[in-house]
Structure 1
Amino acid sequence: MLIIIKPSTQKKHKKNCAWLLKQCQKRQISYTLVYTTGDFTDDCKKITMLAQSQKRVVVLGGDGSLHLAVNALMGLNCTLALLPQGTGNDFARGFGCTISAWRTAIFSDFSEKIDIGQINSRYFINIAGIGFDAHVVQALQSKPALSALGYSFAGFKHLLGYQAKWLAGRLAGQPVKYHNLITVFANHHYFGGGLRIAPKAELNNGYLECYGMPARGLVGNLYSFIRLLLRNHHAMSGLNYQRLTTAYIQTPDLPIEADGELAGVSPAKVTIHPQALRFCIPKSSVTQV
């Protein structure tokens, strides 16, 4: 077993790390530890090299650490497991499970192949976006949010001064052009520290859920944000919602986020890789996948 750990001084993180290592010793499972450094390219290469001889890879971290692992493991035969320890834990949130269920899944024989999205050269397991969400991720690079609530508050604050840009491209082969608030491609339900933008997303149906939300000025943008918080944005006029397998964003120099991590700038090609990675699904959430 390869265990990927994002270093942390939090007591809960240390407690779960100690529990995991103790369980491995108790079950006589040999393990290798790799601590992330924050250098995506170097960490990705190191994990890929170490994972080639492992049967299972466990991520002890949040969406960013999971994103790193997915990019390192694509094309390998490892099974991926997660022990959520991040700020937002948006991917884990989509399963609605307790930490006990995640712990059990690490050592379970049950796993399923799930879809993985790709935007340019970067893979994503949860959600990729272009627009306001990427703007917030970029703004939080220097001062990360300490909680999911803090992330949502930061989003609200940055929305007040956000300058939307035009986006042109093709979604599922159809040309689009609009003043863009957010355009996201969702493989699972949540993003932005608990915003349930894609309630219909499924991890193994071979499609991404695309939400193109046009900008409407300050008051209109605040209205859209509130509708998103209240989870009734599907009924909004002007919302471009569809399931797709490919998309192209032609407008240059728009920042891109993938799983809450900066992932370059547009232009961008978006695709889905059906059943590309085997993941340890918590048993209490099997019916949701």
Structure 2
Amino acid sequence: MLVVVNPLSGAEGDAQIAWLKQQLKQQQITATWFNTTGNFVSDRDAIVKATTTGTTVVVIGGDGTLHLVANAIARRNNPLALLPAGTGNDFARQFNYSKAQWRAAVFSDQVTNIDLGKVDSRWFVNVAGVGFNAHVMNNLGQKKRLGKLSYTYAGLISLFSAKSICYHSKTWPEHGMMLLLANGKHFGAGLTPAPMASLNDGQLELLWFTPKTHWQRVVVFASMLLKRHIGAKNVHHDRITELCIAQAGYDIEADGEIVGRTPATITCCRQALSIKKAPS
């Protein structure tokens, strides 16, 4: 067993660590512990080196730590167990597990295979996109550690400063605020841009937001907060397996991280990651 820990996960992370150490001692299980450093490439490579076929990888952290581990073990025979300890826990949210269920899953024999998204060669678990969401993450920086309200605050501020982006579509407006490709339902510490998304349908939900004025941006953002944006004016929806974004120079955000710049190809990869489930 390999345990990957975000050392900045605070009191919740400390509680999960203490619980897991106690369980490992009681069950006489040996584990290797790895603290992330914030350097994506070196952390990913270290996790790859520390895992062999069949090694269970336990993640203690949030969506960023999960994103890191997924990039190390996707398409490999390494079941992942999650002990949520992040700010948003957007991936964990869609399972509706209690803390006890997540803990039970660590030692469960039940596994489910889920889809992952991919931005060129970079895997993601939740949502990727360009435009407003990337602008928010660039402005947020280290403030993510301040809690969930920091996301909402940064989003409100960015409504009036994020520049429009261009996405060429045969049927929709060319200019808009944000283009999202969703594998999971949630992002931004609890927002639900893609309530219809499934982790095992082989598709990504495409959402193209096209408000033209500041007021329209406020309306769209408020409708997403209220989960009433699907089908609303200036919100366009489709399902895709692959999308090429040809326009150059846009930052790409995925799972709360800036992962690259356009042009890029975003794809859905079926059953790319094994997740441990709570016992039935």
Band of TM-score, shorter chain: over 0.9
Partner of 1:287: none
Q: Specify whether residues 190 and 29 from structure 1 end up closer, same or farther in structure 2 by C-alpha distance, changes over 3 A only.
A: same
The answer to which of 133-142 and 175-184 deviates more is: 175-184
Measured after TM superposition, the shift of residue 150 of structure 1 is 2.1
Whether the 8 Å contact between 2:58 and 2:83 is mirrored in structure 1 is: yes
- In the TM superposition, 1:135-174 aligns within 5 A as 135-168=135-168
Letter in 1 for 2:208: G
Partner of 2:88: 88
Q: Specify whether residues 193 and 9 from structure 1 end up closer, same or farther in structure 2 by C-alpha distance, changes over 3 A only.
A: closer
TM-score (norm 1): 0.92
TM-score (norm 2): 0.95
Q: Specify whether residues 265 and 9 from structure 1 end up closer, same or farther in structure 2 by C-alpha distance, changes over 3 A only.
A: closer
Which residues of structure 2 form unaligned runs of 5+?
Answer: none
Q: How many residues align?
A: 280
1:191 is paired with a residue whose SS is coil
Residues 62-120 of structure 1 show CA distances to partners (whole Å, capped at 9, x for unaligned) of 00000000001023210011111011111111122221111111111111111111011
Query: 1:260 and 2:256 equivalent?
Result: yes
Letter in 1 for 2:78: C
> Structure 2: how far apart are the matches of 1:145 and 1:223?
28
Partner of 2:98: 98
> Structure 2: how far apart are the matches of 1:229 and 1:283?
33
- Percent identity of equivalent pairs: 38
Residues 205-246 of structure 1 show CA distances to partners (whole Å, capped at 9, x for unaligned) of 111111111132211101100000010101212422111101
Whether the 8 Å contact between 2:220 and 2:234 is mirrored in structure 1 is: no
2:219 is paired with a residue whose SS is helix
- In the TM superposition, 1:1-289 aligns within 5 A as 1-8=1-8, 10-52=10-52, 55-168=55-168, 178-282=174-278
Letter in 2 for 1:68: L
1:140 is paired with a residue whose SS is helix
> Structure 2: how far apart are the matches of 1:261 and 1:10?
19
Which residues of structure 1 form unaligned runs of 5+?
Answer: 285-289
Residues 120-146 of structure 1 show CA distances to partners (whole Å, capped at 9, x for unaligned) of 121011111111011111111243342
Letter in 1 for 2:214: L
The answer to which of 134-143 and 179-188 deviates more is: 134-143
2:266 is paired with a residue whose SS is strand
Measured after TM superposition, the shift of residue 147 of structure 1 is 1.3
> Structure 2: how far apart are the matches of 1:167 and 1:100?
44
